[in-house]
Amino acid sequence: MKYITKKYVISLILIFIGTICFGFYLKNIKFDHMIMKFIQNNNFFVSNLFFLKLIKTITYIGNKKTYFFVLPLIFVYLYYKKLKKEIIILILAILFSYIMNEVIKHIVCRVRPKEFFVIYMKGYSFPSGHAMNMSSFYLTLGYILKEKLNIKYINCFLYILVFFVSFSRIILGVHWVSDVLVGLLLGVLISCMFIHLYNNYWRN
């Protein structure tokens, strides 16, 4: 157990430092700007009112206000199914993801792609909080629902949900593409970490 804990701490420190270094590197290259310019020049979602409203609705799923509504419902359901330990794992996953995201954002201080804004957004850009928090929480949730309650196809549904919410951040011009990709990667890593902890030290 002591070895595993040490391994986790070292891995997290390396990931944390590596992400920060990569974030500073991204601030000095123009590749992201070229990709965003291409995407926004061919962005039919913005020119179509129906699709624009749809994308705005999808991105709202990843907002903090939505979590305050959705999380209690999920936790009540899991409590009803006698999955108390699983509730704790999910809370830890989303809290860890949120804190790590905020710390990295305020260290790197990467400016959002304001010239491509379809909607106004405050705060720093790297990494995407929507992508990171959605993937860390909902991928962990999907694993628990499939393993403990045998809910078929739940993982596929949640994968698609995470993808579209993350994709919406690029379409709405509030994140660079690399912000979203790194956010997704970090979220997946956090989800895998908590699933591993759950399976090896907490499940039974």
Show me where the domains of the chain are located: 2-202
pLDDT band at 204 (very low <50, low <70, confident <90, very high): low
The arithmetic mean of pLDDT across residues 74-86, rounded, is: 91
pLDDT per residue as tens digits for the range 15-34? 999 999 989 998 888 888 88
What is the structure's pLDDT at 5?
A: 67
pLDDT band at 1 (very low <50, low <70, confident <90, very high): low
pLDDT per residue as tens digits for the range 125-155? 999 999 999 999 999 999 998 888 878 788 8
Percentage of residues in the chain having pLDDT higher than 90: 51
- Number of neighbours of residue 150 by Cβ within 10 angstroms: 8
d(CA 40, CA 118): 9
Nearest 5°: the CA angle 35, 30, 122 is: 75
pTM of the model: 0.90
Give the DSSP letter of residue 203. -
The arithmetic mean of pLDDT across residues 68-87, rounded, is: 91
> What's the mean pLDDT when you consider all of the chain?
89
CB 90 within 8 A of CB 137: yes
Is the alpha carbon torsion for 135, 141, 145, 147 positive or negative?
positive
| In the predicted structure, residue 2 carries a pLDDT above the cut 80 | no
Alpha helices in 64-201 (DSSP H): 64-80, 84-108, 129-149, 154-171, 177-197
d(CA 86, CA 151): 15
The arithmetic mean of pLDDT across residues 178-184, rounded, is: 96
One-letter identity of residue 80: Y
pLDDT band at 199 (very low <50, low <70, confident <90, very high): confident
pLDDT band at 71 (very low <50, low <70, confident <90, very high): very high
Torsion of CA 112, 114, 118, 119, to 10 degrees: 70
d(CA 143, CA 9): 23
What is the structure's pLDDT at 181?
A: 96
Least confident range of 42-51, 71-80, 84-93, 133-142: 42-51
What is the structure's pLDDT at 200?
A: 79
What is the structure's pLDDT at 99?
A: 96
| In the predicted structure, residue 102 carries a pLDDT above the cut 90 | yes
